[in-house]
Structures are given as C-alpha cells and as structure tokens.
A = this chain, B = another copy of it.
Amino acid sequence: MTDDQELGITESKEHSTGEWYAEVVRKAGLANYGPEGMSGFIVTRPRGYALWEAIQDELDARFKATGVQNAYFPMLIPESYLEREKDVVEGFDPEVAWVTQGGYEELEERLAVRPTSESIIAPYLSRWIRSYRDLPMRVNQWCSVVRWEATETKPFFRTKEFLWQEGHTAHASEADAWSETTTRLDQYEAVYEDVLAIPVLRGKKPEHDKFPGADTTTTVEALMPDGKSVQGATSHYLGQSFAEAFDITFTDEDEDERVAHTTSWGISWRALGALIMTHSDDQGLVLPPAVAPEQVVIVPIWQDETKTEVLEYAEGIAADLREAGVRVELDDRDERNPGFKFNEWELNGVPVRIEVGPNEVDEGSVTLVHRPDGESAGEDRDGIVDAVEEHLETVYAKLYAAAEENLIGNVREASDRAELLGTIGRHGGYVQAPWCGDEACEAEVKEQIAAEIVLVPFEEGEDPRSSGGDTEPIHEGETCALCDDDAVETAYFAKSY
C-alpha cells in the first residue's frame, strides 16, 4: 500500500468534480499521469487495466459471436495513405504524431502513428475481397491510437494516447452495412447498460460532426452526474467513400463488378472514465459487480482468543464463493484493523463486503454490506453462494437505477434560444430543441455556453432510449430554436466531455 491509498478521498464529487475524479483515479490505483514532458499520456495501473480487460472480454465475446475476427495492422501509416481519403486527412492531420526518423536516418516519407486505421485497413480489404462470397468481411483490432490534442489531460477521458478497439467491415449492400452499424451500436449499448450499469441515449451525430468521410455516425451517449454527456462509443456507416478511395470492389452473383459498403466502429477507454464518474462517490470508487476485480471482500473481525475460529469460518466462506466462480478476497492482514480495511475496500470499489466475527460464527450467519449505500443484511452461512449472487444483482440494480434516475430527470425541452441556453446553464443535462440543421446555430450555443448537439434521433419523433417510446416530432411550421428557419429535426444539446 502506498501513501496515496492511506489518505482517503478529500475532494467532493458534488463541489469539485474534476479534482475529485483525479483523486479517485489516483488513490484507487487506476492510473497515474505520464512522465514529465509527456503531458497527455497516462500510465494505466493494474487495477485500472483490469477494468479495461473486463470490458474487452465482454465485447470481444459479443463480437466473435457475431462474425468478427481479430487481426493486427501496422501502428504506422504512410502519409500518402492518409491522404487517399481527403476527409480523413483533413479530419486528422492537425492531431497526428509523426515518425520522421528510423535509427539514424531521416525517413523519405513521414509515418503517422495511427490516429485510426481506416487508411491502412481499407487497402487490405481491397486485396482480400474478390467476390460476393468473401462478404461480409469483418476485422477488428484492440490497440492504442495517438491523437495529439493540446487539451488538459483527464485520465481515460482526454489523453493523447488511448486504448480502444476499432472494427472495420465491408458488405455487399447498404442494407447489410447499415445493419452491421446498428448491430455494433446495440452491442455497445448492451455493455454500457448490462455490464457497466450506465443507461445511454442512442442516435446519430449531426451531419457536420460525423466521422471524417462517413455517411452516418451513430453514437451512444451517457449522462454524467455533473450534467455533462460522454460520447460512449461510435459506429459509422461509411457508405462507399472509403471503398471508392481504396478500391474495395467485388464480383456479384451476376459477375458484375460492384463497390462495397463499409463500416467502422470503436469504443475506447473513455468507457472507464464514464464508469468511474457515474457511480463513484466521496468514499472512492464504486464498481458494478460484472467488472469489479474483487466482487466480494471478507473482513474477519477477531480478538486473540477468537482469531482461529473466525479465520477458519471466513476461509470456508471464501472457498465456497470461489468455487462458485465469485471473485472473492479474504483480507486476513494482521497489521490492519477492520475499520482501515473497510475504508480501503470502499476506496477500491468492492461491491459487497462480508463481515464475520465471533457472533456470526456462533449463529452460523454472515453480515453483508453493500457498496455504495452501506445497506447491510444478515444471511445464513448455509446458502451463502445464492445469497451473495442475489446481493450482487441488487447492487447492480441500485447502481443502474440511480444512473437511470439521473438520466430521466435530466432530459428537458426548449423551444427558443433563451430557454435552451438557460436550461442547460441551470441544470446541465440534455435539452431537446427543434433545429434547422445548420451548423451555425449550434456554433452559437457552443460559443455562449460550450454546449453542443450530442445527437439527433435516428427517426424524427423517436425516443433516443431504446426502452423509450415515441416523443413529439417536429410539427409543420415549427421553427429552429436558434433562428427563424424551419426546424427539420429535434436536436439534443448538452455540454460534453
């Protein structure tokens, strides 16, 4: 244990969110800032990386079950490749890290450290795809990318290098490619909601905020407790622009040559940022059971004369849970008292604590305590496995319910400029407003209150929650909340991470 961990959380989530977040990340042992001279880079420590591994495992299994294969492409991309899709080079050029020297030699052509890999994957899809029989073709890689943004570092939210996965697929038709796009968005939504206990909104980005070169960028957005939105993951229907630029064609069943439709989709470790920010509190990290490195910690409470029996009892419980596949830690350290241990495991985000002392041994019982609300319950020692599994489900349900309450209570409406700016300014959250589709109207909001359009529904009148129903669509003659033009769609404005 380092000093960092012994101090406890001193900042307040409500009053100093940024400082509190940084403190939780550091003291729960998730990440450190990069070395001097490397602003924008972080070191992901084992407890942080384990969370990323949990997300990887969940998504990778879903991907593989739906026809995706992993592959690996070079991390360096020749500048001339980036330039082959003009939107890509315009979109990423300002934030590329360039390798210009190899050993003692200057390179003839600069090589980009990949900011995203469409430009190097597409030429290979072109080579591998010959006939309709080769389609759909789906490859995915788990890797890191670099984007040289000069903003303040915020671990997992804003870093120059970040870990992600990027999937790249090619299809025979627009319908197939669009279905792929939404399949991946569904999977991201499922992982946010079912695994990370974070409800999301789903929709598409406005035209001017699409992925460079994409036909449509779809997104899942999560609302943080401070009222800001996080772009949780994106799935792009790329249309035929990349296929045309990189010559991804195939022979169809009639022996005709056709251009493929492609997609790409990715989730980054920003998901960890959303996870930490959503559930954690002033005692430290709070984790849903599906990703917690330890789901249960057993803290035995003994005096010298009861130590043997209490420990033996605790070990028996630990063994039963372990055998049932529960990730359990028995904290039998001599040099720490139970109060210290409680605080430390709370800081580390263990969902369920089991306390056992002489009373529990006598009664054949255990005491279970939930993170984050401290609710406790007694359970029989017999049937401990079932009881623990139920409590873990309850903890998940509590976390999801709290996040859902925050989301539902923070989607508001506005019909004019004053209402739009005022509502976001006062409450944060999402504000839905009629919009003319012109970037200039969004620019005004950005400038005044640093909010933007985070999504528009797929279909006008659709609720961006997949569990939601319809909402009131734009009606005939309605005008944009920001100008006098006719409104064409409902935009969701929010401040954003």
The 6 sampled A-B contact pairs (Cβ below 8 Å) are A32-B127, A45-B128, A50-B70, A76-B146, A96-B102, A99-B113
Known A-B contacts A2-B130, A35-B120; the reply to A70 vs B98 at CB < 8 A is no
Taking CB atoms, residues of chain B closer than 8 Å to A130 are 2-3
Which of A36-44, A202-210, A259-267, A476-484 lines the interface with chain B?
Answer: A36-44
Known A-B contacts A3-B130, A97-B101, A103-B94; the reply to A161 vs B78 at CB < 8 A is no
Contact B71 A43, beta carbon cutoff 8 Å = yes
Q: A44-B73, A49-B70, A97-B103 are in contact. List 11 more A-B contacts (CB 8 A).
A: A2-B128, A41-B74, A43-B72, A50-B69, A50-B70, A75-B113, A76-B161, A98-B101, A99-B113, A103-B150, A143-B144
Taking CB atoms, residues of chain B closer than 8 Å to A34 are 74
Taking CB atoms, residues of chain B closer than 8 Å to A48 are 71
Q: How far is the CA of A72 from the CA of B1 in the complex (A)?
A: 20
Chain A stretch 134-153: residues in CB contact (< 8 A) with chain B: 134, 139, 143-144, 146, 148, 150
Closest B residue, CB atoms, query A101: B98
Contact of A37 among B73, B78, B101, B143 (CB under 8 A): B78
Whether A340 is near chain B, meaning CB under 8 Å from some CB there, is: no
Interchain nearest-CB distance for A115 vs B (Å): 10
Chain A stretch 449-470: residues in CB contact (< 8 A) with chain B: none
Q: Taking each of A1, A3, A74, A163, which has the highest tally of chain B beta carbons within 10 Å of its own beta carbon?
A: A74
Contact B74 A46, beta carbon cutoff 8 Å = no
Taking CB atoms, residues of chain B closer than 8 Å to A160 are 102
Interchain nearest-CB distance for A335 vs B (Å): 8
Q: How far is the CA of A160 from the CA of B107 in the complex (A)?
A: 14
Q: How far is the CA of A429 from the CA of B138 in the complex (A)?
A: 42
Known A-B contacts A100-B100, A100-B101; the reply to A76 vs B139 at CB < 8 A is no
Taking CB atoms, residues of chain B closer than 8 Å to A437 are none
Known A-B contacts A101-B100, A124-B43; the reply to A146 vs B75 at CB < 8 A is yes
Report, nearest first, the 6 A-B pairs whose CB atoms are least far apart. A46-B69, A102-B148, A98-B101, A44-B72, A41-B74, A103-B148
Convert A1-13 into 0s and 1s, putting 1 for each residue whose CB lies closer than 8 angstroms to a CB of B. 1110000000000
Chain A stretch 88-120: residues in CB contact (< 8 A) with chain B: 93-104, 108-111, 113, 120
Q: Taking each of A1, A41, A53, A99, which has the highest tally of chain B beta carbons within 10 Å of its own beta carbon?
A: A99
Taking CB atoms, residues of chain B closer than 8 Å to A66 are none
Interchain nearest-CB distance for A36 vs B (Å): 8
**A interface, how many residues as a size bin?**
35 or more
Contact A104 B100, beta carbon cutoff 8 Å = no
Whether A376 is near chain B, meaning CB under 8 Å from some CB there, is: no
Contact B37 A1, beta carbon cutoff 8 Å = no
Taking CB atoms, residues of chain B closer than 8 Å to A127 are 32
Closest B residue, CB atoms, query A104: B94
Known A-B contacts A3-B130, A103-B96; the reply to A73 vs B144 at CB < 8 A is no
Convert A287-319 into 0s and 1s, putting 1 for each residue whose CB lies closer than 8 angstroms to a CB of B. 000000000000000000000000000000000
Taking CB atoms, residues of chain B closer than 8 Å to A134 are 1-2
Chain A stretch 240-277: residues in CB contact (< 8 A) with chain B: none
Contact A99 B102, beta carbon cutoff 8 Å = no
Contact of A109 among B37, B98, B139, B161 (CB under 8 A): B37
Contact A133 B1, beta carbon cutoff 8 Å = yes
Q: How far is the CA of A69 from the CA of B75 in the complex (A)?
A: 25
Taking CB atoms, residues of chain B closer than 8 Å to A124 are 32, 43
Whether A80 is near chain B, meaning CB under 8 Å from some CB there, is: yes
Whether A81 is near chain B, meaning CB under 8 Å from some CB there, is: yes
Known A-B contacts A35-B81, A102-B97, A124-B32; the reply to A46 vs B75 at CB < 8 A is no
Q: How far is the CA of A66 from the CA of B163 in the complex (A)?
A: 26
Interchain nearest-CB distance for A34 vs B (Å): 5
Whether A338 is near chain B, meaning CB under 8 Å from some CB there, is: no
Whether A358 is near chain B, meaning CB under 8 Å from some CB there, is: no
Q: Taking each of A38, A52, A108, A143, which has the highest tally of chain B beta carbons within 10 Å of its own beta carbon?
A: A38
Taking CB atoms, residues of chain B closer than 8 Å to A133 are 1
Taking CB atoms, residues of chain B closer than 8 Å to A94 are 103-104
Closest B residue, CB atoms, query A32: B124
Q: How far is the CA of A376 from the CA of B177 in the complex (A)?
A: 44
Q: How far is the CA of A109 from the CA of B72 in the complex (A)?
A: 29
Interchain nearest-CB distance for A128 vs B (Å): 6
Taking CB atoms, residues of chain B closer than 8 Å to A212 are none
Interchain nearest-CB distance for A33 vs B (Å): 10
